[in-house]
Amino acid sequence: MELSISWWAVVVAIVVGLAIAWVWYSDWGLLGPAWRKLTRVTKEDSAKAGKGPFAILVISIIATGLALAVACSIVSAFFGGESVWLALVVGVVAWLGFSLSTLAQHNGFEQKPARLTAINSAYQLVLFLGMATPIGLLQQ
Protein backbone atom coordinates (compact mmCIF):
# COMPACT_ATOMS: atom_id res chain seq x y z
CA MET A 1 0.00 0.00 0.00
CA GLU A 2 1.56 3.25 -1.14
CA LEU A 3 0.50 6.54 0.42
CA SER A 4 0.27 9.55 -1.81
CA ILE A 5 -0.29 13.01 -0.38
CA SER A 6 -0.71 16.12 -2.48
CA TRP A 7 0.85 18.98 -0.53
CA TRP A 8 -1.02 21.41 -2.77
CA ALA A 9 -4.28 19.78 -1.61
CA VAL A 10 -3.20 20.13 2.03
CA VAL A 11 -2.40 23.83 1.56
CA VAL A 12 -5.77 24.45 -0.11
CA ALA A 13 -7.53 22.51 2.66
CA ILE A 14 -5.79 24.64 5.30
CA VAL A 15 -6.87 27.86 3.58
CA VAL A 16 -10.43 26.53 3.32
CA GLY A 17 -10.33 25.57 7.01
CA LEU A 18 -9.20 29.03 8.08
CA ALA A 19 -11.91 30.63 5.94
CA ILE A 20 -14.58 28.41 7.50
CA ALA A 21 -13.42 29.32 11.01
CA TRP A 22 -13.42 33.01 10.13
CA VAL A 23 -16.92 32.95 8.63
CA TRP A 24 -18.31 30.77 11.43
CA TYR A 25 -16.92 32.51 14.52
CA SER A 26 -16.21 36.12 13.50
CA ASP A 27 -18.19 38.76 15.32
CA TRP A 28 -19.93 39.49 12.02
CA GLY A 29 -20.02 35.79 11.05
CA LEU A 30 -22.69 33.15 11.04
CA LEU A 31 -22.54 32.23 14.72
CA GLY A 32 -19.90 34.46 16.30
CA PRO A 33 -22.34 36.57 18.33
CA ALA A 34 -24.22 33.49 19.57
CA TRP A 35 -20.94 31.78 20.44
CA ARG A 36 -19.79 34.83 22.42
CA LYS A 37 -23.06 34.93 24.34
CA LEU A 38 -22.98 31.22 25.18
CA THR A 39 -19.29 31.16 26.16
CA ARG A 40 -19.34 34.58 27.81
CA VAL A 41 -16.08 35.38 26.00
CA THR A 42 -16.25 39.12 25.34
CA LYS A 43 -14.38 41.07 22.70
CA GLU A 44 -12.28 42.47 25.54
CA ASP A 45 -11.45 38.92 26.70
CA SER A 46 -10.36 38.07 23.17
CA ALA A 47 -8.22 41.21 22.96
CA LYS A 48 -6.56 40.36 26.31
CA ALA A 49 -5.79 36.83 25.09
CA GLY A 50 -3.78 38.29 22.23
CA LYS A 51 -2.69 36.11 19.33
CA GLY A 52 -2.42 32.89 21.36
CA PRO A 53 -5.87 31.52 20.51
CA PHE A 54 -5.35 32.36 16.82
CA ALA A 55 -2.01 30.51 16.83
CA ILE A 56 -3.72 27.48 18.36
CA LEU A 57 -6.42 27.69 15.66
CA VAL A 58 -3.84 27.79 12.85
CA ILE A 59 -1.82 24.91 14.30
CA SER A 60 -4.93 22.78 14.84
CA ILE A 61 -6.20 23.43 11.31
CA ILE A 62 -2.79 22.49 9.89
CA ALA A 63 -2.92 19.27 11.93
CA THR A 64 -6.46 18.59 10.72
CA GLY A 65 -5.43 19.10 7.09
CA LEU A 66 -2.49 16.75 7.44
CA ALA A 67 -4.52 14.11 9.28
CA LEU A 68 -7.32 14.24 6.71
CA ALA A 69 -4.82 13.98 3.84
CA VAL A 70 -3.16 10.94 5.41
CA ALA A 71 -6.51 9.30 6.18
CA CYS A 72 -7.77 9.98 2.66
CA SER A 73 -4.58 8.52 1.20
CA ILE A 74 -4.95 5.36 3.30
CA VAL A 75 -8.60 4.97 2.31
CA SER A 76 -7.80 5.60 -1.36
CA ALA A 77 -5.03 2.99 -1.29
CA PHE A 78 -7.31 0.50 0.45
CA PHE A 79 -10.14 0.95 -2.06
CA GLY A 80 -7.79 1.28 -5.02
CA GLY A 81 -9.06 4.63 -6.23
CA GLU A 82 -9.38 8.28 -5.40
CA SER A 83 -12.69 10.03 -5.08
CA VAL A 84 -14.00 13.18 -3.52
CA TRP A 85 -16.80 11.00 -2.11
CA LEU A 86 -14.29 8.81 -0.28
CA ALA A 87 -12.68 11.95 1.13
CA LEU A 88 -16.07 13.21 2.33
CA VAL A 89 -16.75 9.86 4.00
CA VAL A 90 -13.37 10.14 5.74
CA GLY A 91 -14.38 13.64 6.89
CA VAL A 92 -17.71 12.43 8.30
CA VAL A 93 -16.15 9.41 10.02
CA ALA A 94 -13.38 11.55 11.53
CA TRP A 95 -15.94 14.09 12.73
CA LEU A 96 -18.28 11.47 14.17
CA GLY A 97 -15.64 9.27 15.74
CA PHE A 98 -13.34 11.93 17.14
CA SER A 99 -14.75 15.44 17.10
CA LEU A 100 -18.46 15.05 17.85
CA SER A 101 -17.99 12.25 20.37
CA THR A 102 -15.25 14.11 22.26
CA LEU A 103 -17.03 17.47 22.20
CA ALA A 104 -20.33 15.95 23.35
CA GLN A 105 -18.56 14.14 26.20
CA HIS A 106 -16.70 17.17 27.46
CA ASN A 107 -19.55 19.61 27.05
CA GLY A 108 -21.97 17.20 28.71
CA PHE A 109 -19.78 16.72 31.78
CA GLU A 110 -18.91 20.43 31.90
CA GLN A 111 -22.65 21.18 31.68
CA LYS A 112 -22.25 23.57 28.80
CA PRO A 113 -25.35 24.66 26.91
CA ALA A 114 -26.61 22.22 24.28
CA ARG A 115 -26.75 25.09 21.79
CA LEU A 116 -23.02 25.71 22.26
CA THR A 117 -22.33 22.02 21.64
CA ALA A 118 -24.47 22.22 18.49
CA ILE A 119 -22.66 25.35 17.23
CA ASN A 120 -19.21 23.89 17.82
CA SER A 121 -19.97 20.39 16.54
CA ALA A 122 -21.69 21.75 13.42
CA TYR A 123 -18.62 23.91 12.83
CA GLN A 124 -16.41 20.84 13.11
CA LEU A 125 -18.56 18.94 10.59
CA VAL A 126 -18.46 21.83 8.11
CA LEU A 127 -14.71 22.19 8.75
CA PHE A 128 -13.97 18.49 8.14
CA LEU A 129 -16.13 18.35 5.00
CA GLY A 130 -14.80 21.66 3.72
CA MET A 131 -11.22 20.53 4.18
CA ALA A 132 -11.83 17.01 2.84
CA THR A 133 -13.28 18.38 -0.40
CA PRO A 134 -10.08 19.89 -1.84
CA ILE A 135 -8.10 16.92 -0.56
CA GLY A 136 -10.46 14.58 -2.43
CA LEU A 137 -10.44 16.72 -5.54
CA LEU A 138 -6.70 17.48 -5.69
CA GLN A 139 -5.05 14.43 -4.15
CA GLN A 140 -3.23 12.51 -6.87
Distance CA(91)–CA(72), nearest Å, equals 9
What phi and psi, each to the nearest 5 degrees, are found at residue 31? Answer: -130, 10
The answer to whether 132 and 66 are in contact (CB under 8 A) is: no
What are the residue ranges of helices labelled H in 26-113? 32-39, 43-49, 52-79, 84-94, 101-109
Using 50, 70 and 90 to split pLDDT, how confident is the model at 67? very high
Each residue of 12-66: pLDDT tens digit?
999 999 999 999 999 998 999 999 999 999 999 999 999 999 999 999 999 999 9
DSSP label of 31:
S
Task: Supply the pTM of this predicted model.
Answer: 0.93
DSSP label of 70:
H
